[in-house]
Structure 1
């Protein structure tokens, strides 16, 4: 017993192309160019400019280094004025017999007594306005140096040291060995510094 007929239409069979249809189809397909799909050109938006990073200020850029003022080293206090020798003109006058303003003889004194007497004499000479004085120490002898006290040899060696000491540099302008007429090597010419307002 046969079933119900199939309602679906049967596909038609394609008949083969004859030679003329085949040639025509090839001719048509040769002139056909495939349609290319349109390329979507993406609209290039300008890249955002990079945000500049905040510059790290170095101490040199942030604030220019201000050079520190050069502080000059404090000047040392002025030392005592240098001793000055006798002027040639004065030396010639003395060699011809010119006299000194005052003289001090330290013969027979101890070191302590001679030292104190010398300072007092020179300060007094300065106060009196004397410019040149004579200090007699004695020539001394090699064997006459006594230990600690007196002795002409000791005074001859020590008096020049006392005259050059700081305590007398404001009084003594200079000194040197006296000429023969005033004792030679046993005496000293001492130039006394004038007080302010006077002449040296």
Structure 2
């Protein structure tokens, strides 16, 4: 024979909250007395410094832009330089010529990701050092719905793919391309030597 399981205080409090909201099927039946007194609600936490008054239409003193996530260009420019500084300078000025390129224009994310993986790993196995990944600047696809869409989905997604396995082990540096190689619609990908 099974022993009855007793409810913990947390379970009992949860059950009491559910029972308070329930509508009885038989209103004539007497109410069951509760076993333990209900826990007292905790008082709300008060802030020591009150929020300043704000009027509708008043401008804020916020120094940061509305987009909390920095742009792809900002994130890549703040990334540490993992390659030779002299070669990095030549690459960012467009002085180094990419040995191969892939154009992801018009592809969906499901099509572009395997193409990018095959291209990067294949280029590394062929001994290439600098390749160009063209994403395009993207189209404004915001349809005005409640969830905003990013401008240039592949342009934002490709750097994330390049930072994840298996590609991150093959890559030394990623930076936006010079204007003559596509500008903000393309990325230079500097590859590690294949071992």
TM-score, length-scaled by structure 2: 0.50
Among 130, 133, 143, the residue aligned to 1:132: 130
8 A contact 1:86–1:174 mirrored in 2: yes
CA distance in 2, matches of 1:145, 1:85: 36
> Which residue of structure 1 lines up, in the alignment, with residue 118 of structure 2?
120
> Which residue of structure 1 lines up, in the alignment, with residue 158 of structure 2?
159
| 1:100 is the counterpart of 2:98 | yes
CA distance in 2, matches of 1:145, 1:118: 26
| Matched position secondary structure for 1:155 | helix
8 A contact 1:137–1:152 mirrored in 2: no
| Matched position secondary structure for 1:169 | helix
8 A contact 1:108–1:152 mirrored in 2: no
Q: CA deviation at 1:91?
A: 3.7
8 A contact 1:132–1:191 mirrored in 2: yes
8 A contact 2:83–2:172 mirrored in 1: no
| More displaced 10-residue stretch of structure 1: 151-160 or 182-191 | 151-160
Q: CA deviation at 1:145?
A: 6.1
| Matched position secondary structure for 2:173 | strand
8 A contact 1:103–1:133 mirrored in 2: yes
Residues 41-69 of structure 1, C-alpha deviations (whole Å, 9 max, x = no match): xxxxxxxxxxxxxxxxxxxxxxxxxxxxx
TM-score, length-scaled by structure 1: 0.49
Q: CA deviation at 1:93?
A: 3.2
- Return structure 1 stretches of 4+ with deviation > 4 angstroms: 82-86
> Which residue of structure 2 lines up, in the alignment, with residue 188 of structure 1?
187
* Contiguous gaps of at least 5 residues in structure 2: 1-78, 144-149
The number of aligned residues is: 111
CA distance in 1, matches of 2:80, 2:121: 17
CA distance in 2, matches of 1:105, 1:119: 13
Q: CA deviation at 1:113?
A: 0.8
Matching of residues 31-50 of structure 1 within 5 Å: none
Which structure: larger Rg? 1
| Matched position secondary structure for 1:166 | coil
8 A contact 1:83–1:173 mirrored in 2: no
- Across the aligned residues of Structure 1 and Structure 2, the Cα RMSD in angstroms comes to 2.7
Change (3 A) 1:152 1:111: farther
CA distance in 1, matches of 2:84, 2:176: 13
